[in-house]
């Protein structure tokens, strides 16, 4: 079974489309939900976290406009599904997760799928990963109330960040942020609902 283009018409990047149809989502889902692998909806992965719907994962990846040479920072490894898209389409991925059991499970799955360009860190996404900055792209899969200063400072000149911003218990706005000559260009994409970014 594969995803149907008519249901995902906003996915126009062929590399993203190929990734969507080659990354086995079922490997990132708990066994009790694997029959929903091709359901375009978020699913629980434990610890109050979710794996996002594939159409959103693909579209957020597309917004980063990856060409294959980039160094990417991901905030919120979660199930590792979004991480797999980034690792497939960029050169290096540095991914941070706050919840250790989720990190360990994602790491095991990604390793079993052959990804060798992913670097893992356990900690708070608010701080980013300064040691390897700057990053050509930043993907955030949890929602802070405002964009953390550390993530802005670690974004390279000309780099792009995709991030949901808003309240913990309501609708957030998905943004694409581009750093141009030190200033930030903000594009509102559309309303979304993500788990909150936790400062831990």
Residues 6+ positions from 104 with CB-CB distance below 8 Å: none
Based on the residue annotation, tell me whether 112 is a catalytic residue of this protein: no
d(CA 112, CA 42) in angstroms, rounded, equals: 23
Going by C-alpha positions, the residue among 42, 51, 54 that lies closest to residue 10 is 54
Other C-beta atoms closer than 10 Å to the C-beta of 89 total 23
Q: Per the residue annotation, which of 22, 52, 79, 112 is the catalytic one?
A: 52
Q: Helices 100-112 & 81-89, crossing angle to 10 degrees?
A: 50
DSSP state of 101: H
Catalytic residues, which ones?
52
């Amino acid at each position: 079974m594969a995803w149907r283009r008519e249901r995902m018409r906003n996915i126009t990047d062929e590399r993203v489309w190929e990734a969507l149809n080659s990354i086995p989502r079922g490997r990132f889902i708990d066994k009790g939900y694997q029959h929903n692998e091709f359901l375009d909806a978020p699913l629980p992965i434990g610890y109050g976290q979710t794996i996002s719907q594939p159409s959103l994962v693909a579209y957020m990846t597309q917004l980063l406009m990856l060409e294959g040479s980039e160094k990417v920072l991901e905030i919120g490894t979660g199930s590792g599904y979004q991480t797999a898209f980034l690792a497939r389409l960029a050169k290096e991925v540095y991914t941070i997760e706050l919840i250790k059991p989720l990190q360990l499970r994602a790491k095991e799955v990604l390793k079993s799928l052959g990804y060798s360009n992913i670097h893992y860190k356990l900690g708070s996404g608010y701080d980013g990963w300064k040691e390897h900055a700057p990053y050509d792209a930043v993907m955030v899969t949890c929602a802070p109330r405002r964009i953390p200063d550390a993530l802005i400072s670690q974004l390279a000149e000309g780099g792009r960040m995709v991030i949901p911003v808003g309240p913990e218990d309501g609708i957030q706005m998905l943004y694409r942020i581009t750093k141009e000559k030190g200033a930030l260009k903000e594009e509102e994409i559309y309303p979304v609902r993500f788990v909150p970014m936790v400062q831990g």
